[in-house]
Structures are given as C-alpha cells and as structure tokens.
Amino acid sequence: MELAIFLVTILAIVRASDATWCVCKSGLNDTALQKAIDYACGHGADCTPIKENGGCYNPNTVIAHCSYAANSYYQKNNEESTACDFGGAAATTSTDPSTNGCTYPASTSAAAGSSGSTTNDTSIQPSGSAYGLGPSSVPYNSNAGFRPETWSALWTLSFGFILIASLHCKA
C-alpha cells in the first residue's frame, strides 16, 4: 500500500512539471521584442500563425507575437534552456500562455505539427547572431533530453524504491 501511494505521488510530481513554455518578458521595449521575433522566425520557429490572418495573429501586439515565436523556437529545440533566452527577452514558464483560440505548442512534436512549415521570409532573418540572441555559452546537455526536474523526480523515485525495499527487508 505504501508503495502505491509513493508511486502515485511521484507520478504527480513528474507530470506536473512536464509542460514548459517560453514567453517574452513584459516591460521590454518593442525593439528588443522584435529582435527576438526576428531571430526565432529566422532560425526555425513556425511563425505562420502570427502572420496576418493566422490563428495567433490576435492579439496583434509585439509581446504576444514574440511569445509565440519564442515558444515555437524553444519547443523545436527540445526545450533546451539556452533556447529560451533571446538576449534576456524571454523566460520559461509552467503556465500555459495559450489564449482565445491560439494554442501554444507544449512539446517538440506539437511545435513541428502546428502548421507544417516554417517562416523563411528574408525580411525577418537577421544575419548570424548579430543581436546576441543565439544559443548561450552553456554547453549542450546530452542527458537524453531530460530536463533537470525530470532527473530530480527520477532520483526521488529511485530513493523511494530503495527506502521501501529496506523497510520490507527489515520486517
């Protein structure tokens, strides 16, 4: 019985931390937000939904478009922490930013299938990392794509199994 309760608790912890989105920070000037949009859209984000008549065009604000583009880029880069920086213009959140019929992808597969194409307008592609928005100097984490909180949950689960096994062996 203790094992069942423990497993349900651990499963709840792991599932609660599963979804992460990347959103642009409020209070920044439109120029900084537009640079983040330009970088994300020029480097693989699916920006079709934030174009005029797209499903996420409204609200037609720079910050809303920035958040959608940044999140698409973040999801397509397997939620790597370095893919949600944009020169300090964005940060991750566990709160779903989806609004009014505009669904923000919460996984790589959802981001890849949101419209089937990426925006490659040369008008929105900066050359290189001119704005310092590219990947940071943090080394690539090759832990099979697990985020730190997933590793933490796995360690907790392992410790729980060892603890339960030792209690049953003593009895």
Q: In this structure, what DSSP letter does residue 25 have?
A: P
At residue 153, what is the residue type? Answer: A
d(Cα 131, Cα 109) in Å, to the nearest integer?
Answer: 28
To the nearest 10 degrees (0 to 180), the angle between helices 2-16 and 148-170 is 180
Answering whether pTM is above 0.85, one says no
Tell me, what's the pLDDT at 58? 92
Tell me, what's the pLDDT at 141? 35
- 70 to each of 52, 79, 143, how far by Cα in Å? 18, 11, 23
What string of pLDDT tens digits covers the 171 residues of the chain?
Answer: 565 555 445 544 444 447 899 999 999 999 999 999 999 999 999 999 999 999 999 999 999 999 999 999 999 999 998 999 999 999 999 999 998 889 998 876 555 444 433 333 333 333 333 334 443 433 333 333 444 555 556 666 666 667 677 777 766
The beta strands (E) that lie in 53-137 are given as 90-93
